[in-house]
Structure 1
Amino acid sequence: MLQIEDVRVGYHRSSVLHGVTVEVPKDGVSAVLGHNGAGKSTLLRAAVGLLTPSSGTVRLDGEDITRRKPHERVARGMAYVPQGQQAFPHLTTAENLQLVADGRKRGKAAIGEALDLFPALRTLSHRRAGLLSGGQRQQLAIARALVTEPRILLLDEPTEGIQPTVVAEIEETILALAARGGLSVLLVEQHVGFAMRAAQRYYVLEAGRVTSSGEGGQDAERSVREALSV
């Protein structure tokens, strides 16, 4: 579904990714792991079009989208949930979702389906997003992305800084999304156990390079932990 091939990208004159190749299978999950500063978020920003590679290509379902704008990638079925539980703080939960749904043929139905995945948000529909907990805002951020009915979902550390009970709910939801088909996921995650449960393929980044990769699954957890301990 998504092919990031030999991508080099950075900020101004500072290079961050040095020839990185990552693939996401159709209806599957690829996990990207690494320490802070390894280039994981930069990889997602390049995939969604917020950064333009100096070389390399990004393909979505076979189409070269390397020079496409972010809104063009969204129109082609890409959704991005950045780090930091982002939402419009002065809008209610319901308004945050409706803002994304407006103009979409299945907007109302898509909101209902997203709320089925995060039922706690139904009881918070009239609460301003700025008054939600970090975990609730993260659920809202993922729900907003799902309202667009994407073909591929990019998640940047969705469990970071969230209370353990909500982490478990988010993990279960992502695993359920991956299992039901029709959606590919590129997951940046620090929790190795969760990432290996969810992913069919993993990549370990270190200083902007892929230093280890392979098939996911719990059998791979030990190899990933060893790669991260270097």
Structure 2
Amino acid sequence: MLRLHDLTCGYGRSAVVHGIDLEIGADQVVSVMGHNGAGKTTLLRAIVGLIPAMSGTIEFDGADVTAKATNKRVKAGMAYVPQGQQCFAHLTAGENLRLVADGRKNAKALIDAQLDLFPALRPLLGRQAGLLSGGQRQQLAIARALITEPRLLILDEPTEGIQPNVVAEIESTIVDLAARGGLSVLLVEQHLGFALQAASRYHVLRSGRVASSGETGAEAESRVREAMSI
């Protein structure tokens, strides 16, 4: 579904991510971990086209999208949920969902499907999004992204600042979505337990380079902690 080959990217002339190779298969959840400043968000921004690649290639579903604009990548099936539970704070939760769904033939069904995934949002549809808790806003942000019916969902720190019970709900939802088929997930996460439980494969970034990669499992946490030097 996604293949990065020797990808280098950054800001201006300063490279932040250096020579990354990464693959995500169909219906696979892959996590990227690392400390602040490791290059995780920069990597995601390059994948969705918010910053240009300095060198290397980005392939999505077999097509080279390295030079494609962000809207073309979204149209092809990428959805990006940035860090920070972003939403339109002065709109209600329901208006946030309808804003994305409007113009789609099956708009009501798409909204209903997301409310089935995140039932805690149903009684909050009339409340301003800015008044929701961090966990509720994150569920709303993911629901908005899923309305676009992506084939690759890219999540940047979805558990940051969120209460543990909501973290568990988001993890369960991500795993269930991937298991249904038709959706791959790239998850950037510092919460090691969440990242290793949700994903089948991991990559650890350190100073913009891959320090460790492998399958998740019994030995993965010790390898991740060693690579992160914690």
Residue in structure 2 matched with residue 198 of structure 1 by the alignment: 198
Q: How many equivalent pairs are there?
A: 230
Residue in structure 2 matched with residue 67 of structure 1 by the alignment: 67
TM-score by length of 2: 0.97
Residue in structure 2 matched with residue 145 of structure 1 by the alignment: 145
Residue in structure 2 matched with residue 98 of structure 1 by the alignment: 98
**Deviations 1:173-196 (Å, cap 9, x if unpaired)?**
112112222100000011112211
**Deviations 1:79-125 (Å, cap 9, x if unpaired)?**
00000000000110010000100111222111111111100100000
Q: What residue identity is the alignment partner of 1:140?
A: L
Residue in structure 1 matched with residue 126 of structure 2 by the alignment: 126
Distance in 1 (CA, whole Å) between partners of 2:42 and 2:189 is 14
Percent of aligned positions that are identical = 67
Residue in structure 1 matched with residue 86 of structure 2 by the alignment: 86
Q: What residue identity is the alignment partner of 1:55?
A: S
Structure 2: any 5+ residue segments left out of the alignment? none
Distance in 1 (CA, whole Å) between partners of 2:75 and 2:51 is 18
Q: What residue identity is the alignment partner of 2:190?
A: Q
Q: Secondary structure at the match of 1:54?
A: strand
Q: Secondary structure at the match of 1:225?
A: helix
**Greater alpha carbon shift after TM alignment, 36-45 vs 157-166:** 157-166
Residue in structure 1 matched with residue 224 of structure 2 by the alignment: 224
Q: What residue identity is the alignment partner of 1:101?
A: A
Residue in structure 1 matched with residue 183 of structure 2 by the alignment: 183
CA contact (8 A) 1:83 1:156 kept: yes
Q: Secondary structure at the match of 1:18?
A: strand
**Deviations 1:173-229 (Å, cap 9, x if unpaired)?**
112112222100000011112211221211110000001111123442221122112
Runs of 4 or more, structure 1, over 3 Å off, are: none
CA contact (8 A) 1:198 1:217 kept: no
Which runs of structure 2 are paired with 1:27-38 in the superposition (5 Å)? 27-38=27-38
CA contact (8 A) 1:199 1:217 kept: no
Distance in 2 (CA, whole Å) between partners of 1:30 and 1:170 is 15
**Deviations 1:135-190 (Å, cap 9, x if unpaired)?**
11001000000011100000001001111121121111112112222100000011
Q: Secondary structure at the match of 1:89?
A: coil
Distance in 2 (CA, whole Å) between partners of 1:54 and 1:91 is 38
TM-score by length of 1: 0.97
Q: Secondary structure at the match of 1:84?
A: coil
Residue in structure 1 matched with residue 210 of structure 2 by the alignment: 210
Q: Secondary structure at the match of 1:141?
A: helix
Residue in structure 2 matched with residue 18 of structure 1 by the alignment: 18
CA contact (8 A) 1:31 1:201 kept: yes
Q: What residue identity is the alignment partner of 1:58?
A: I
